[in-house]
């Protein structure tokens, strides 16, 4: 199952500092997930000044429970970076399907 995860950072004055404190751990976990075929794509959400204010990720998990387990380990969750998380089921389009299948082999 594929999921779109939208994590929005807090809007307080310490939000960017919290993000930067755990960013290396977030990226390391993302790299492990990518190598395992679980993280298909990700990007930072930027404000008009180019400051990171959130994240989008497209992930492939066997179940919602597996996705929830990842969220329990995600540094941006545990570090209080993402103050709002929206998860939607999705399906990678046919133009990118070969990329998804290549990663899962």
Dist. CA 98–CA 39, nearest whole Å: 15
Convert the pLDDT of each residue in 36-48 to its tens digit: 999 999 999 999 9
pTM: 0.87
Q: What pLDDT digit, counting tens, does each position of 47-101 carry? A: 999 999 999 999 999 999 999 999 999 999 999 999 999 999 999 888 776 655 4
Distance in angstroms (rounded) separating the CA atoms of residues 5 and 51: 19
């Amino acid at each position: 199952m594929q999921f779109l995860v939208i994590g929005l950072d807090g809007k307080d004055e310490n939000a960017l500092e919290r993000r930067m404190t755990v960013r290396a751990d977030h990226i390391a976990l993302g790299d492990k997930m990518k190598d395992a075929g679980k993280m298909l794509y990700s990007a930072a959400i930027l404000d008009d000044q180019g400051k990171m204010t959130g994240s989008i990720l497209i992930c492939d998990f066997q179940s919602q429970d597996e996705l929830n387990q990842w969220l329990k380990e995600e540094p941006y969750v545990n570090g209080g970076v993402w103050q709002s998380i929206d998860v939607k089921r999705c399906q990678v389009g046919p133009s990118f399907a070969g990329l998804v299948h290549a990663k899962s082999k």
